Structure 1
Amino acid sequence: MIRPFLPSRFPFVPVTDVAGEVVEIGPGVQGFKVGDKVVSKLKLLRGGGLAEYAVATTELTVKRPPEVTSAEAAGIPIAGLTALRALTKAGIKLDGSGPSADILITAASGGVGHYAVQLAKLGNAHVTATCGARNINLVKSLGADEVLDYKTPEGESLKSPSGRKYDYIIHCATGIRWSTFEACLSERGKVIDITSPTAMLTSVIKKMTFSKKSLVPLVLNPKGGDLEFMVELFKEGKLRTVIDSIFPLAKAEEAWAKSMDGHATGKIIVTLE
């Protein structure tokens, strides 16, 4: 059981991302003790993050080093691991040892997008990103090579300012048609979609038409090793969490409302402190 720091989520999605301090351990638990600072992803069906105490499993709980604050850590489990999974799905080697790739990241100032930009740059990728005008400088500071205002004609068409075709598109936005993606992809380019419930159907249709370009639905299957890897990157100063705002638990409803508005920059955090 831990006393958590909490990121807000939509009201119909259980809050599963927490960071805090271990206050009690169950029988047979090894590797943790009362007083340990940790970050954890709770069970999806159980949730329980918006509370003074939360029950976590050892499989998806890792120790948080002092270099990483609770607020930073609370944003990692779902958004950070989704970004990690997307870049891994794209075959990007995060130690920079692989070949360079041209990558587009949509909604790059959002929760998943801002982590994806940083991870892609660790993987030696050329990153084009989309976001709102007010966040262009922020996304550039995260490492993006080219940034498009999504409300401009260039941003709507997703065209690279330098004329590049994308090997991969990490799609973190909504409302973009496949035809828009297809025009921007390289011959064997892939769209890795974390947003659309129809992505699986589109993926099947593209395979049936024998297109070399494809859409790849992303299914998150987090592992403790992945979470530990992400926390280590934070410890080494290679990643950071952009925090939009912090709300006390008593104002969690306001945090939800802001999250639902869809224009948060980075993560919204709910805290007990």
Structure 2
Amino acid sequence: MKMAAKLMHAVQYDGYGGGAAAFKHVEVTVPTPKQNEVLLKVEATSLNPIDWKIQKGMLRPLLPCKFPYIPATDVAGEVVDVGPGVKNFKAGDKVVTTLGQQAGGGLAEYALAKESLTVARPPEVSAADAAGLPIAGLTAHQALTDSAGIKLDGSGKKENILITAAAGGVGHYAVQLAKLGNTHVTATCGARNLDFVRSLGADEVLDYKTPDGAALKSPSGVKYDYVIHCATGIPWSTFEPNLSANGKVIDLTPSGSSLLTFVSKMLTFSKKRLVPLFVTSKHQNLDFLVNLVKDGKLKTVIDSKHPLSKAEDAWAKSMEGHATGKIIVEP
């Protein structure tokens, strides 16, 4: 099915800043897949904090590479056309993918994806559930398996883990994945989400606004072997007394100060470390997560769904930073 010269609805912005108010609803030409690309009819797109951080200019001069820019990258949909060299997909296939921040393109009716970052989506996994997975799910997965060495088949030695901001996009996946391993999970979240985070499997849950929650103290007194740090603004001095002898804080949103801590701990040969995480999208990891959802071992919790025509509402909600689970936009 060739989509030549057909128009589609898309949401874009023309420069840095402005938040949701800077969005423009436009009609643009449906793109044509090039070598090793697939064209998707978008069924669901999820938003991630990185999306609005790019708009704020926090990653300039790297991203976006050019304006106007159609934001968002985590997309589930149906293949409608394939470019030269594509071997694994054909029109009609249901898939999930991450588009890459350079290209963007998620807030539109059609999007181009690299075959190498696209995986099949079984019928048991809805478009919205799949769209939540790529950035948030892969971040949680890599923090636990690559950085913390947790074996998700439960075969590793018992580890005590703290997950901050456990009700958020990354955090809610991290709790569920951690509990597939041999772990005791302490989690922090806001008061309204305590029961929700317990329902994900956390062994202990702290309201981050209470004194013990702010101090990250485990109710049972355990020291943490690993912290999956999904929040921001917590200094090293708060983590350090709560860590086991070789405890590590895996920082998912490294800042200048956390990178300085990382370097200073390396230089002083400290056994307690801060480790910045820079996620790389891997096809096999995304496929692994999709299959966990299919098997009922992992779930995407959806905070809210918004039509593409009201993408501004989804964007504003993401920028507020209090979503429980994932924010989804549907054409």
Q: TM class, shorter-chain normalised?
A: over 0.9
State the shift of 1:174 in Å: 0.9
Which residue identity lines up with residue 62 of structure 1 in the other structure? V
Q: Is the 8 A contact 1:8 1:252 kept in 2?
A: no
Distance 2:132 2:98 in 1: 10
Matched, 1:232 2:271: no
Map 1:3-152; keep pairs closer than 5 Å: 3-4=41-42, 5-9=44-48, 10-13=51-54, 14-88=71-145, 89-152=147-210
Residues 144-175 of structure 1: CA distance to partner in whole angstroms, max 9, x if unpaired? 00000000001000000000000000000011
DSSP-derived class of the 1:204 partner: helix
State the shift of 1:12 in Å: 4.4
Q: Is the 8 A contact 1:203 1:214 kept in 2?
A: yes
Residues 75-128 of structure 1: CA distance to partner in whole angstroms, max 9, x if unpaired? 000000000000011000001111110000000000000000000000121000
State the shift of 1:202 in Å: 1.5
Which residue identity lines up with residue 218 of structure 2 in the other structure? S
State the shift of 1:8 in Å: 2.3
Which has the larger share of strand? Answer: 2
Distance 1:169 1:236 in 2: 27
Which residue identity lines up with residue 89 of structure 2 in the other structure? F
State the shift of 1:42 in Å: 0.6
Which residue identity lines up with residue 3 of structure 1 in the other structure? K
Map 1:188-227; keep pairs closer than 5 Å: 188-198=246-256, 199-227=258-286
Per the alignment, residue 33 of structure 2 pairs with none
Higher relative contact order (CA 8 A, sep 6+): 1
Distance 1:196 1:98 in 2: 27
Distance 2:114 2:281 in 1: 13
Match for 2:315 among 253, 256, 262?
A: 256
Distance 1:123 1:41 in 2: 26
Distance 2:87 2:259 in 1: 40
State the shift of 1:242 in Å: 0.7
Distance 2:190 2:245 in 1: 29
State the shift of 1:261 in Å: 0.3
Residues 222-270 of structure 1: CA distance to partner in whole angstroms, max 9, x if unpaired? 1101110111111110000010000000111111100000100000000
**What TM-score comes out, normalization by structure 2 length?**
0.81
Map 1:166-185; keep pairs closer than 5 Å: 166-185=224-243
Distance 2:251 2:220 in 1: 24
DSSP-derived class of the 1:104 partner: strand
DSSP-derived class of the 2:130 partner: helix
Distance 2:52 2:266 in 1: 36
Distance 2:316 2:221 in 1: 39
Distance 1:43 1:141 in 2: 32
Which residue identity lines up with residue 204 of structure 1 in the other structure? V
Q: Is the 8 A contact 2:254 2:277 kept in 1?
A: no
Q: CA RMSD in A?
A: 0.9
Distance 1:210 1:134 in 2: 40
Per the alignment, residue 153 of structure 1 pairs with 211
Larger Rg computed on CA atoms? 2
Q: Is the 8 A contact 1:18 1:39 kept in 2?
A: yes
- Alignment gaps of 5+ in structure 1: none
DSSP-derived class of the 1:247 partner: strand
Residues 12, 150 of structure 1: CA spacing in aligned structure 2 closer, same or farther, 3 A cutoff?
Answer: closer
DSSP-derived class of the 2:111 partner: coil
- Alignment gaps of 5+ in structure 2: 1-38, 55-70
